[in-house]
A and B are shown apart, each in its own frame.
Chain A
Amino acid sequence: ETGVTQTPRHLVMGMTNKKSLKCEQHLGHNAMYWYKQSAKKPLELMFVYSLEERVENNSVPSRFSPECPNSSHLFLHLHTLQPEDSALYLCASSQVPPSNYGYTFGSGTRLTVV
């Protein structure tokens, strides 16, 4: 158990569906992150929330919509996705700054868009 829990582990959705990914941490961290990991590509930082405020949005298409209702929960709302959005979506959490301890990652959600 990593301390960061992501659900679901696997998700298959059609291009017209709406779904949400959930991330939960009870490590007392105050920053949370969404990363996209596609095959043969580097990790892509999508969104960062620090103290429940979005502090970074790396030019992510609007079909991805994050939500951070409190310091323990992070969601990624998905709608009208494209097949190229199929990837492993990783959530992470940390203290701010993460200098001493780095990030703690969840196990990821494997998303397939059909």
Chain B
Amino acid sequence: AQSVTQLGSHVSVSEGALVLLRCNYSSSVPPYLFWYVQYPNQGLQLLLKYTSAATLVKGINGFEAEFKKSETSFHLTKPSAHMSDAAEYFCAVSDLGGGSNYKLTFGKGTLLTVNP
């Protein structure tokens, strides 16, 4: 069984500051990992994904995440926050179990607030 834990339901940063959103996963097999962003009253949009290639993954809007197997983590970072980054962020894991595995497991989300 797979699970995702996002530490901190709410993170607040100043504009221009580093953004760090934490995600830890549990999976019995090598996972594929995803970060999604959701703006108010919108669906979830894929930010980036890890699919067993490079451990440092770059996504849209200047975000990146690093897969650390030893720490079972996939934290999302951005060097300098913009006001437009204010949104909710979801980490998700796909278990590569056999058969017709179709599910992503989502974390509970982290709301990012950016202060001027």
A-to-B contact residues, CB < 8 Å: 2, 4, 6, 31, 42-43, 45, 48, 50, 55-56, 88, 90, 92, 94, 96-108, 110
Contacts and interface: CB of A to CB of B under 8 A. Distances in A.
Contacts of A92: 43-44
B41 A43 contact: no
Contact of B102 (A6, A31, A90): A31
Contact of A107 (B42, B104, B109): B42
B104 A102 contact: yes
Contact of A100 (B32, B42, B106, B109): B32
Interface stretch (B14-22, B45-53, B61-69, B73-81): B45-53
Contacts of B28: none
B95 to A, nearest CB: 8
B100 A102 contact: no
A98 B90 contact: no
Contacts of B34: 102
Contacts of A107: 41-43
Given A42-B109, A43-B90, A110-B41, A97 B100 contact: yes
Given A4-B43, A90-B43, A108-B42, A102 B102 contact: no
A103 B34 CA distance: 10
A88 B49 CA distance: 25
A45 to B, nearest CB: 8
29 contacts: A2-B43, A6-B43, A31-B102, A42-B106, A42-B109, A43-B90, A45-B103, A48-B103, A50-B102, A55-B102, A56-B103, A90-B43, A92-B44, A97-B101, A98-B104, A99-B32, A99-B94, A99-B101, A100-B49, A101-B49, A102-B36, A105-B43, A105-B44, A106-B43, A107-B41, A107-B42, A108-B41, A108-B43, A110-B41
A15 to B, nearest CB: 23
